[in-house]
Amino acid sequence: MEFLLQPWAWYVSGPLIALVMFTMFYFGKRLGISSNLESLCAIGGAGKFNNFFKFDWRKNKWNLAFMIGLIIGGFLSSNYLSNTKSVAISEQTKIELNDLGFKNAGDTYMPTEIFTAKNLNLKTVSILLIAGFLVGFGARYAGGCTSGHAIVGLSMLELPSLISVIGFFIGGLTMTWFIYPIIFG
């Protein structure tokens, strides 16, 4: 049981992720999380404003079930399957983040400076909202997110997925190296 409660090594987690992808193929589906966001828009009545969202979201119930599973999985993992709340990030990362104003980096999964309700203010809410907007807009523009492109698309050796993943990293590196110091510095 002890090995379950510890953080899992990359060489355990990565192959397990591939196994989930395989299982979904075996179930007749292609793993991909971000298309659920379209279903959620459709359920929320976005079809009233845009004909695209008039598609029958009920045919995506399997994926919504998977998404609800993610929520349950997060609940089970954080409440019953963890013996620590901290994340063993590198010392260099801790030092850098401290300079950017993030104290106690790695003590929790998420920085309390942004991700706790009591620290929400105009700046943090704007950051979270804009970040979400870019993820949603970009994922559907590119036709997929980390699961659909980086895991499944690359496993299928799809060139558009490789280009998308290169795009993910150009964007992510630019944000982390050049824009973070402006926002948080």
Partner 1 sequence: MKYIKFLIAGIVFGIILSKSEAISWYRIYEMFKFQSFHMYGIIGSAVVVGIGFVQLIKKTNLKNTDGNSIEFTPKKSGKYRNIIGGMLFGFGWALAGACPGPFFVLLGSGVFPILIVILGALIGVFTYHATKSKLPH
Residue list 49-108, contact with partner 1 (CB under 8 A): 49-50, 52-53, 61-63, 65-78, 81-82, 87-90, 92-93, 96-97, 105-106
Distance CA 90, CA 84 (A): 17
* CA-atom Rg of the chain in angstroms: 19
Cβ-contact 39, 63 below 8 angstroms: yes
- Which of 16, 54, 98, 122 is the binder for partner 1 (CB under 8 A)? 16
Q: How far is the CB of 60 from partner 1 (least distance, A)?
A: 11
Q: How far is the CB of 170 from partner 1 (least distance, A)?
A: 5
Distance CA 102, CA 140 (A): 31
Interior/surface letters 118-130, b for 16+ CB within 10 angstroms, e for the rest: eeeeeeeeeeeee
Greatest alpha-carbon pair distance for the chain in Å reads 52
Q: How far is the CB of 44 from partner 1 (least distance, A)?
A: 7
Distance CA 127, CA 125 (A): 5
- Which of 48, 177, 182, 185 is the binder for partner 1 (CB under 8 A)? 177
- Tell which positions 21-40 bind partner 1, by CB under 8 A: 21-30, 33-34, 36-38, 40
Nearer to partner 1, 135 or 185 (CB): 135
The helix or strand, by DSSP H or E, that contains position 97, with its residue range, turns out to be helix 91-99
- Which of 2, 48, 56, 176 is the binder for partner 1 (CB under 8 A)? 176
- Which of 101, 103, 130, 181 is the binder for partner 1 (CB under 8 A)? 130
Q: How far is the CB of 17 from partner 1 (least distance, A)?
A: 4
Cβ-contact 40, 60 below 8 angstroms: no
Q: How far is the CB of 2 from partner 1 (least distance, A)?
A: 13
Nearer to partner 1, 2 or 17 (CB): 17
